[in-house]
Structure 1
Amino acid sequence: MLIQSDERNYRLTTAFPLATFMRLPLIPWSSVGGYLFGYQGPTVAQQDSTTTLQSRAAPINDIPVELLGELFAACLRDADPLWYYGRERPPVSNSPSNFFDPMTLGQVCRHWRAVALSMPTLWTSMRINSPRRGHLPLTQTWLERSGVCPLRLFLFQDSGSEVESAVTDVLVALLNTQAHRWRSIDFRFFGKPPSALFKLSHGSLSQLVSATLLTFRTSKTFSETSTLDTVWQIIHSTPTLRRVHWDSDYLISMPSHIPWRQLTDIRLNARLSTTVIFDLLHHCPNTVSLEVHIEETASVPFNPVILPCLRHLCIRAECPLDPIFDQLTLPQISSLRLDRFHEPITSEELSSLNHLLVSSNRYLQRLFFNDGQRESTRSNIVAMLRLPRLSCLKDLYIVSRVGDQVVQALTCQPQHSRDHLLPVLEYLTIGDCRGTTPGLLGNMASSRAIAYDQLVKLRTLEIFCWDINMVDKEVLKKLSKDGLHISVEYDE
């Protein structure tokens, strides 16, 4: 359905039909009217009668506790804790969700409050943005309600003010009291890290699996690498550690205490040469997910690298990638993210990518591609999508601006069933679809909305930027009513 707001952006989306899931009680117009016209409320006897009647009749009380708990937990799941949360979010909140706070559950009814307070796992994830004094008692409450469960913590100090720095230091000291419960931490500080962070003791992080520690430095506080290393030594000494995200300049020194062989998820965001990266990869046989930022390709030949466990590869590159693809073998690769800067991807790189997949005996299932939204590379996008080893893609995300050429290539023709591009595609996301001919986008979506021959039905279509036209708008609205999940952001 079409959901409109007061802003310039609109969203065309489908919604979960709650009415078919559970019946909601109707509010009598007489009671609503009483409040609207200044009615002072019912008597005590009327209140008791109404409360008893509602508690017996309200269908919401018939939801099984187990299902209610699952619904509560699902409301708190957000993909990105840094996502802009807007003015609707309270300035002081520990909720990991952009749109939902478990603190409100206890305000709905007594039953919901009992369920929420009986679920320690509901309080184990905390996200604190722009620390304020109000976060201190709130954090203490969350720590108490989480019981003894492992904690997932996100703390973002985005200001160097003395007040925020002081509050951040107290918050970290409070969180340190539960360091033995830390399972995942993501700490990001502006300027010098809080002093409480350096009071961690060796062996205190007995459950830590994932660690991110970043500092955003000014020119006056840039050289804090050696200081942070004392914290990283404690983190690296944890035998349960599997995922790490280091500061970009921290990796320049390449400390010897990094436990490369026990890590399964590595983010090398420092701008390193391929020579350094390949030297490191030889020491990471158990890596499952790898993110690298490659600044330059060295002219010297590399020793080939086999990463037997790698499933997801993310490369942000400022140089040609074919010399890298030519030296890699990835027997388990299924997901690839490519971010190309400065120069469009070349045919040589595409050929090397396909060769990598052939030598690894793998077909990609997920692809994220971004070449800086250049309008001149649409033919390169089509060429990439036609690579034989991408024919089994189920999930495609194109950040680059696409035009008629890409949309037409993704359109399936029943009379040419053997020539379908990406026949098993189920999830399609396009970052920028401006400038397409009216009717093409709707035609493409319609051609994939029904499964036939060897074509799998498209389940989700998302577009983040589009200059809407009425022809495609009506088609997409009809497809959404027929069951295709569509999310489109556009300007009018």
Structure 2
Amino acid sequence: MAFNLHTSYTTRYSIRRSSPEVKAQRESRLSWDQIVSALQNHEHLLGRAICQGKDILRCLIRKRPFCPIDTSNALVWLNTPANLLPPSRPVIHGLPPEILGRIFAFIVHSDCLDKRYQYREEVWVNFVSSGTSPTTPVVLGHVCRAWRTFVHNTPFLWATIFVHSPLPRHVDIVSFWLARTADCPLDLRFEQFLFPDPASLAIIELFIVQAHRWRKIAFIINLEEPFDKLRPGSTPLLEEFRIRLPKWDRARVARVIDTLHASPVLHTINWGKSIAGQIPPSTPWRQLRELSLHNLELSETLLAAFPQCSNLLTLRLYGMRNGLAGQNTCVAIPSVERLVCDQPYMHIFNAFTLPSLVDLKLGGLQRRIGAFETPEAQIAPLISMIERSACTVQALEVEAWALPILYHDTLSHLTILHAADILSSYPSNFRLEDLISETGGRHSLLPALQHLFLDRYEGRDGVLATVAWSRRRTLRTLHVGVDAEQHPRDVITLGWLRKDGMTVEVGEPLSRSRMISFARPQTDAEDVSMSTLRFPDFDTIWT
């Protein structure tokens, strides 16, 4: 970044040197030679500041593509002395309260965050927050008096509370937050791992008192006694729950689950590992829109319940064992649009017909070939399910073991592909080169692809660039985790595609690790800190 600030100044000054007033002012001004010299000595810092400013401007334009920044008067404003600029009220202070509340909710609530935030490595210590967001209503209230007044009088900003391994001082914080929620429905998440734990006991009792306002809850907890106060009808507003009660008495677990099932508006259930392999008889099958099953037997009894799920849209299956004893049982669920499965087990795909399926996620942290001899044989039951269902899969998230499915004609309508691993050290019979367009812009593989996400890519440098460039007319989004030093050609080409309008994000490769926890004793005997190092998938804590 080479330029001469001194030359620029002297040229501009020479235009005005005929004015006596300017000559008088020159004597009272600072020495520009020293300023220019200092800037030249710190040229790399100035260059970094300018680049960061450009990134901020690009972000603003991307966030508001239909409201571009008006730069028609930019030159006039830049040449107007600062003391002559008319005072103006910040635009955000003139927004209607409804819009300002939406903006603040976007900032503090976890479900409004960019998904990339959930894939960053983070150290979670003892805290109370609004979810996974680092910003809370308290932080917003510290900006200025107007924001503090607005935040303290907007209950729904406080109604999402995430408590992780609380300390004694957090009891008053949670009590303060609950007092600010007024009568708003509550979204609560509580994770407690230590026992005995007086702070967690006090906070859970505060939550139990507000059970009539629960809308969404996610509890990992060892404390049982406070929940004895719940009765069927205690949670009339409950729409969604995720629980993990690993050390509870079975009778108590059954009572709590029956209480939660009694909600007339319940539509999302995740029992975690709390039901010990037995499906609760009180399950409201007809109400369900989302169901997650963990470590259960895929038996005839369970399959017989699925036809009652006339409104089920999302089905998640984790660690499902085969309980069909070789019987060829297949059940159709016409309403399911999304299937999440963490293991490539034949009995899962053979058991379902899903005619409305459009979104498929296939996990599995390891390559579990089992009795299959080849990757093609491994995915054969999955292909059979898609063909039998006559469905149109438009979004696919896979790990390396299932990548060969991309060559099958059943995915010709795929528009979104999220591949977790394309590694040179992990053979999967899939080559990224096969996505390169043929002559004339035709695509021999995945012709409808518009959005490509690669969490980790370690192929040969230049291949990704060739694929993206050949599809530049149809590919709208490309997010890739790649080592920039090992792929300079790819990074440069993706930069040009970003300038041409494609949404391109290049980041560090994501770790395959999930979670590491450790306890840290504090100086105070009662202050025991539980720290958790977390990685991409929050849902693994429920498996």
Cα separation, 2, equivalents of 1:425 and 1:368 = 13
**Aligned residue number for residue 463 of structure 2:** 440
Deviation at 1:427, TM superposition (A): 2.4
Deviation at 1:272, TM superposition (A): 2.2
1:98 aligns with 2:122: no
Deviation at 1:208, TM superposition (A): 0.3
Cα separation, 1, equivalents of 2:342 and 2:484 = 26
**Aligned residue number for residue 233 of structure 2:** 203
**1:368 aligned to which of 397, 400, 424:** 397
Asked whether the equivalents of residues 292 and 314 of structure 1 are also in contact (C-alpha less than 8 Å), the reply is yes
Greater shift, 338-347 or 144-153, is seen at 338-347
Question: Which SS does the other structure have where 1:126 is aligned?
Answer: strand
Asked whether the equivalents of residues 484 and 491 of structure 2 are also in contact (C-alpha less than 8 Å), the reply is no
Structure 1 residues 92-171: aligned runs within 5 Å: 92-157=127-192, 159-162=193-196, 165-171=197-203
**Aligned residue number for residue 487 of structure 1:** 505
Cα separation, 2, equivalents of 1:171 and 1:336 = 38
Cα separation, 1, equivalents of 2:135 and 2:69 = 20
Asked whether the equivalents of residues 85 and 98 of structure 1 are also in contact (C-alpha less than 8 Å), the reply is no
Cα separation, 2, equivalents of 1:146 and 1:130 = 22
The one-letter code sitting in structure 2 at the alignment partner of 1:440 is V
Between the two proteins, the alignment pairs up a number of residues equal to: 429
Structure 1 residues 8-407: aligned runs within 5 Å: 17-18=59-60, 56-79=88-111, 86=122, 91-157=126-192, 159-162=193-196, 165-189=197-221, 192-216=222-246, 222=247, 224-248=249-273, 250-273=275-298, 275=300, 277-293=302-318, 294-296=320-322, 298-317=324-343, 319=345, 321=346, 323-340=347-364, 342-344=367-369, 346-348=375-377, 350-371=379-400, 381=403, 383-403=404-424, 405-407=430-432
Asked whether the equivalents of residues 94 and 135 of structure 1 are also in contact (C-alpha less than 8 Å), the reply is no
Asked whether the equivalents of residues 291 and 313 of structure 1 are also in contact (C-alpha less than 8 Å), the reply is yes
Tell me: CA distance 1:328–1:247, structure 2 relative to 1, closer, same or farther (3 Å): closer
Deviations 1:77-109, CA, capped at 9 Å, x for gaps: 43589877746x885332224332221112212
Deviation at 1:402, TM superposition (A): 4.1
Asked whether the equivalents of residues 491 and 506 of structure 2 are also in contact (C-alpha less than 8 Å), the reply is no
Deviation at 1:305, TM superposition (A): 0.7
Cα separation, 2, equivalents of 1:21 and 1:202 = 55
Cα separation, 2, equivalents of 1:460 and 1:467 = 19
Greater Rg by CA: 2
Deviation at 1:205, TM superposition (A): 0.3
CA RMSD of aligned residues (A): 3.6
Q: Structure 1 length as normaliser, TM-score? A: 0.76
Deviation at 1:277, TM superposition (A): 4.3
Cα separation, 1, equivalents of 2:182 and 2:460 = 57
Question: Which SS does the other structure have where 1:153 is aligned?
Answer: strand
Cα separation, 1, equivalents of 2:212 and 2:120 = 31
Question: Which SS does the other structure have where 2:440 is aligned?
Answer: helix
Tell me: CA distance 1:389–1:115, structure 2 relative to 1, closer, same or farther (3 Å): farther
The one-letter code sitting in structure 2 at the alignment partner of 1:155 is F
Tell me: CA distance 1:85–1:161, structure 2 relative to 1, closer, same or farther (3 Å): farther
The one-letter code sitting in structure 1 at the alignment partner of 2:451 is Y
Asked whether the equivalents of residues 417 and 451 of structure 2 are also in contact (C-alpha less than 8 Å), the reply is yes
Deviation at 1:206, TM superposition (A): 0.5
Once the two structures are aligned, what percentage of the paired residues are identical?
23
Deviation at 1:244, TM superposition (A): 1.0
**Aligned residue number for residue 424 of structure 1:** 448
Cα separation, 2, equivalents of 1:83 and 1:478 = 26
Cα separation, 2, equivalents of 1:14 and 1:476 = 16
Q: Structure 2 length as normaliser, TM-score? A: 0.70
Deviations 1:211-237, CA, capped at 9 Å, x for gaps: 111034xxxxx4633321121111112
Cα separation, 2, equivalents of 1:297 and 1:90 = 41
Tell me: CA distance 1:276–1:487, structure 2 relative to 1, closer, same or farther (3 Å): farther
Deviation at 1:441, TM superposition (A): 1.3
The one-letter code sitting in structure 1 at the alignment partner of 2:332 is I
